[in-house]
């Protein structure tokens, strides 16, 4: 093989290597660009998800406040019970039965004379919640509106 042929082959080999290096660099740049784009997409998705959570939380809080200010279906009934001196003792924070009784009244529960059973003084200790005190008589457990109405004369409206 002549010197010219060797030089030509070496030059061709250098060109192939240069082209190969250029292709590798192009792939590296392309891969880095794709990773950067994917990272940006995830950041936008995370930001959008966080924003959505904040918006939903605000909507929930506003709805809860508006709902709490709405008149209840049993406002006049609850007010009548309180006017008649009816007291309900319970444990709203921990007793599912007291919570069920409160849920029956809905927004009207705020008109009842409700007291935490631990603060009760006078008669023997409250052991069952809710306990209703009507005309110095104790009625334990959840009471229906019909029973409360019959005991007090307050119409259910």
Write out pLDDT tens, residues 69-123.
677 789 999 999 999 999 999 999 999 999 999 999 999 999 999 999 887 666 6
Provide the domain count of the chain: 2
Question: Would 108 be classed as within a structural domain?
Answer: yes
pLDDT for the residue 63: 63
Whether 143 has a pLDDT exceeding 90, the answer reads: yes
Whether 61 has a pLDDT exceeding 70, the answer reads: yes
Give the separation between CA 102 and CA 64, rounded to whole angstroms: 16
Q: How many CB atoms lie within 10 A of CB 120?
A: 15
CB 102 within 8 A of CB 88: no
Q: CA 14, 15, 16, 20: dihedral to nearest 10 degrees?
A: 100
Q: Is the pTM of this model over 0.85?
A: no
Domain enclosing residue 79, as ranges: 75-152
Of 53, 69, 85, which residue constitutes the final position of a domain? 69
Q: Across all residues in the chain, what is the average pLDDT?
A: 85
Overall residue count recorded for the chain in this entry: 157
Q: How far is CA 148 from CA 81, 87, 121, in A?
A: 8, 12, 23
Q: How far is CA 4 from CA 11, 13, 16, in A?
A: 10, 14, 18
Question: Would 139 be classed as within a structural domain?
Answer: yes
- Indicate whether 19 and 64 sit together in one domain: yes
């Amino acid at each position: 093989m002549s010197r010219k042929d060797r030089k030509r082959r070496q030059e061709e080999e250098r060109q192939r290597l240069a082209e190969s290096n250029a292709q590798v660099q192009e792939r590296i740049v392309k891969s880095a660009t794709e990773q950067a784009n994917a990272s940006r997409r995830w950041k936008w998705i995370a930001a959008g998800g966080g924003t959505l959570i904040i918006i939903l939380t605000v909507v929930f809080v506003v709805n809860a406040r508006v709902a709490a200010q709405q008149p209840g279906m049993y406002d006049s009934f609850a007010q009548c019970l309180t006017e008649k001196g009816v007291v309900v003792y319970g444990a709203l924070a921990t007793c599912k039965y007291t919570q069920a009784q409160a849920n029956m009244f809905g927004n009207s529960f705020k008109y009842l004379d409700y007291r935490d059973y631990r603060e009760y003084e006078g008669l023997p200790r409250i052991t069952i919640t809710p306990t209703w005190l009507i005309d110095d008589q104790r009625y334990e457990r959840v009471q229906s509106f019909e029973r409360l109405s019959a005991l007090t004369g307050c119409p259910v409206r």
